[in-house]
Chains A and B, each alone.
Chain A
């Protein structure tokens, strides 16, 4: 039995009120949507808070709209709703697929897009019970000074396990952020890839009173193809142990104009590899092999999540090759 430590809960119905609460309570407050990441983390004592600010009642955070050549996805969009939305399926099929592969049916009916993008980082040490962790003492992410998964590690390398982040980066998505400064609502937007930092303790480049309100994704043109693959031990429930998203822009003659390879679950932020070195090559089985080799050479999975790191590195090359092969006939 895991009981939640006591905290207060707020249910604002306006964005400004939510941000004012977050600003007032600072680090002691956290925004919460489905709670599928935050509540287990609170139960494990990995995260502590005094005030939970529930965002479900804020209308502005909901909805999927086509607007000026972009699809606007509200941060409170449910993961099942995202996977089953006809507009998402038509314009961003790889995102619909990635959302349909997150965790379990229950988690998908509770969790939201904003929550999946802002998932806390995970590792083999921190995602254990408080009692289990006490045996080794704290770590870089939990009031300690040493890393228990990468001996001698100076920075926290807990991994981002979001399924939607890599595929949305491949689609060129931008996140809209709302904050609270001098008692006023302030808005900004940044490329999704820039939301993530390399410090696993604080991997989101968000200020204390800032939340993600929406994601805007430019509709890809007909020659742009995006795909996603996730490797996990089980087909359901599990977080990815390696995930890859691939964007290929194809010329009229079938060669590669430009592309991106996004590899996730390496560390706190997805690795984005520009494929300009391969521009001009025919998109075929040889390119799939070259991409797999490139991923193997450029990425070194760490022993931060379960499974052998060397195996994950080999597996990464295979997943990239398979993903590209799947996309050859698009």
Chain B
């Protein structure tokens, strides 16, 4: 577990013109991308502020900052969550995955590879959030009894992420391609293990 240094005071009380009392600091203990962390932060901080300003994970973006745009989407215990309107103190003991944890061992995730190859990221600001919503969709797809990749399901899963550049077409294509690839790979793995068993 990593204990971080006390909170950087430049981020304290940016909104209160004249603070009338000391702000309470808390230690938030949570799993971030598989690693246990304990972070000191003001009790009213959001999860996004904790990730960006205390842990230096600036992949999750501060877009509208009020839960409309989806640029701050992270996975909280596997579910897509808007970190800009989630209090950090409310996620004690839970697992957070951000875009930084998507690839494994320096290799990009199939979603990231498809996004790059198909031009699904233009300005790129919405991309980390879109990738996390797409990752949640892929998890759900993989765990369903009869997985089928449907365009309508992809659009619904990405329904909380705004993109002002792409018009979504290339994003949907990239997610579709990554989903198809992952299903084919898991089918091939299942076939191999059936062969081994026989």
Interface membership of A56, Cβ < 8 A: yes
A39 & B87 in contact (Cβ 8 Å cutoff)? yes
- A26 at the binding interface (Cβ < 8 Å): no
Q: Does B57 contact A (CB under 8 A)?
A: no
Count of CB-CB pairs between chains A and B under 8 Å:
103
In the assembled complex, B46 has its CB within 8 A of some CB on chain A: yes
> Does A7 have its Cβ within 8 Å of any Cβ on chain B?
yes
A3→B15 contact, CB < 8 A: yes
Closest to B16 in A: A6
Q: Would you give the shortest CB distance from A11 to chain B, in whole angstroms?
A: 7
The majority secondary structure among interface residues of chain A is loop
Cα separation A4 to B88 with both chains bound (whole Å): 12
Chain B residue at smallest Cβ distance from A33: B90
The answer to whether B90 touches A54 (Cβ under 8 A) is: yes
Main secondary structure of the interface of B (DSSP, over half): loop
Query: Within the complex, what minimum Cβ distance (angstroms) separates A312 from chain B?
Result: 22
B173 within 8 A of A: no
Q: Are B43 and A110 in contact (CB under 8 A)?
A: no
Partner of B82, one of A2, A8, A107: A107
Size of B's binding interface in residues, CB under 8 A = 41
Shortest Cβ distance from B59 into chain A, in angstroms? 16
Give the CA-CA distance A210 to B70 in the complex, in Å: 32
- What 1/0 flags go to A41-60 for Cβ under 8 Å of B? 00110000000101010000
- B interface residues, Cβ below 8 angstroms from A: 13-16, 19, 23-24, 26, 42-46, 49, 62, 64-68, 70, 73, 76, 79-82, 85-87, 89-90, 92, 133, 136, 156-157, 159-162
A-B pairs with beta carbons under 8 Å apart, 28 shown: A2-B66, A3-B14, A3-B15, A5-B16, A5-B44, A6-B23, A8-B24, A8-B44, A9-B87, A39-B85, A40-B66, A40-B67, A43-B65, A56-B90, A104-B70, A104-B159, A105-B136, A105-B156, A105-B160, A106-B70, A106-B73, A107-B82, A109-B79, A109-B80, A236-B156, A236-B159, A236-B160, A237-B159
The 4 closest A-B pairs by CB, nearest first: A104-B160, A236-B159, A40-B66, A39-B85
In the complex, besides A104-B160, A107-B82, 19 extra interface pairs with C-beta distance below 8 angstroms are A1-B65, A5-B15, A6-B19, A8-B43, A9-B26, A35-B86, A35-B87, A39-B87, A40-B67, A43-B65, A43-B85, A56-B90, A80-B79, A104-B159, A105-B80, A106-B80, A106-B81, A106-B160, A237-B159
